[in-house]
Every structure is written in C-alpha cells, then in structure tokens.
A and B are shown apart, each in its own frame.
Chain A
C-alpha cells in the first residue's frame, strides 16, 4: 500500500490557461473521488468514478472541468480557461467498493490562479 499520490503538488497558472492534475489511487481500489477544498473550509465533493465509469458529478463541476479515468486506474482532472475562483486545493481519494468504505486521501494539488 503506497498510498494515494497526486501530481503536481503545486500549480501556479495565469487566468485563462488550462491545467491538468493527476491522481494515482491505491492499486486495488475501485473507487476514486475528487474534492475541492478552499482555505478555511471543508472539502467539497466534485465527482467520483467506479473503475472507469464516472458515476456522479457535483453541480460545482462546471463545463470547464472534466475528469477521466480511462483504464480504471489513475485519473486526471482538467480545468479549462482557469479563473481566479478556481484557486483551491484539489484532493483525490480512493476506496474499495464496499458498503462501509474508508476513503484514503492524497496530499492534494494546490492551484493558484493569478
């Protein structure tokens, strides 16, 4: 169990640029979740996958956001035409597919949009 990893850890970009983040879950975990955490707040759910299928997207996930998990392993989260309001910590978590799963979180990617 090597834990959930995320890359990059920090990203600074200019408004209007596109950014892509990667998450590598724990290897035997079927479920993968993305959350967003702004300063001083709790994480908010964005989307989740079971294997390669994206099963739910939050209303927080505007059309500029897209997430993929093409082979049911790693996932990417892309933000197009970034805005200053996108500045946040983007967290990835994974879990087994069970009734009382525990989600294991990665260290997060901190995005700063200038």
Chain B
C-alpha cells in the first residue's frame, strides 16, 4: 500500500533559523507529492506540490524537491518566522487511485522569537 513517513516533532527553532522536515514515501504507483500546513485554529492549507521526479515545489519561502531515487520530499525553509509555527503534513496521491490523499503523521514546528 501507500504510506508517508515524516519526522516526529515538535521541532523548536529560533527565528531566522533553517528548517528541514524529512518526508519519505512508499507508493504502488507514480505519486504526486504535497506539503500541507495547519496553522493553529485553522484548516489544512496546501503549501506546495510536485507532480513528477525532480520537480521542485515552492511557496512562501518553503521548498521541496521530488526525489524518486530516495523516495523523499523534504521540506526546507532558509529563515523561519514566528508566523511559520504550525503543523506540517507531507502527503501523496495516486491518480489511478482516485487521488485520495495519504498523509504522514504531521510535524509540529514552533518558532520562538
């Protein structure tokens, strides 16, 4: 089956620090990969996506590269802000499987001033 594994949190950082959240996946088909973010008290929002190998998704200073050889989609940001404090979810879909999302367990990030 399909699964997503991401590093457990919480991750606590100081403002302007570098953030990396590791994500690896297993998939029976050729997946599209996503990072979703859940800010406190809000719903899930799509942060970025990549649909084929070597694609780089980027948004709001976050980046992630689809690495087929290592089945990974690590999320990075060079300089975090307090407003980046949230829970981040890595996820995948398989088009032939109805595009239902398979999520990782989430990583809570806390950025301190």
Selected from B4, B32, B100, B106, the residue in CB contact (under 8 A) with A56 is B100
Q: Which residues of A contact B101 (CB under 8 A)?
A: 33, 35, 43, 45, 93, 103
Of the candidates A42, A48, A107, the one whose C-beta lies within 8 Å of that of B43 is: A107
Q: Which of chain B's residues has its CB closest to A43's CB? A: B103
List the B residue with the shortest CB-CB distance to A104: B46
A95 to B103, Cβ gap below 8 A? no
The smallest C-beta distance from A75 to any residue of chain B, in angstroms, reads: 15
Other contacts beyond A95-B99, A103-B99: 5, CB < 8 A: A41-B105, A41-B106, A42-B89, A100-B95, A103-B46
Per the CB 8 Å criterion, the residue count for chain A at the interface is 25
Taking the complex as formed, is B77 at the interface, i.e. its CB lies under 8 A from any CB of chain A? no
Chain B: CB-nearest residue to A3? B43
Known A-B contacts A102-B46, A105-B43, A105-B45; the reply to A45 vs B100 at CB < 8 A is yes
B44 contacts chain A at the CB level, 8 A cutoff: yes
Task: List residues of B whose CB falls within 8 A of some A CB.
Answer: 4, 32, 36, 42-46, 49, 51, 89, 91, 93, 95, 98-106
Kindly report which residue of chain A lies nearest to residue B41, judged by CB atoms: A107
Taking A102-B49, A107-B43 as contacts, is the C-beta distance between A48 and B105 under 8 angstroms?
no
**Cβ-defined partner of A91 (8 Å) among B32, B44, B46:** B44
A100–B32 CB distance below 8 A: yes
Rounded to whole angstroms, the CA-CA distance of A101 and B51 in the bound complex is: 10
Query: Does A105 lie within 8 Å of B51, measured CB to CB?
Result: no
- Complex Cα distance A100/B31, Å? 10
Closest-by-CB residue of A relative to B100 is: A45
Measured CB to CB, the closest approach of chain A to B64, in angstroms, equals 15
**Alpha-carbon distance A42/B99, docked complex (angstroms):** 17
Contact residues in A for B46 (Cβ distance below 8 Å): 102-104
Set B32, B44, B102, B105: member contacting A45, Cβ < 8 A: B102
Looking across the interface, which residue of chain A has its beta carbon closest to that of B97?
A56
B105: which A residues are within 8 A, CB to CB? 40-42
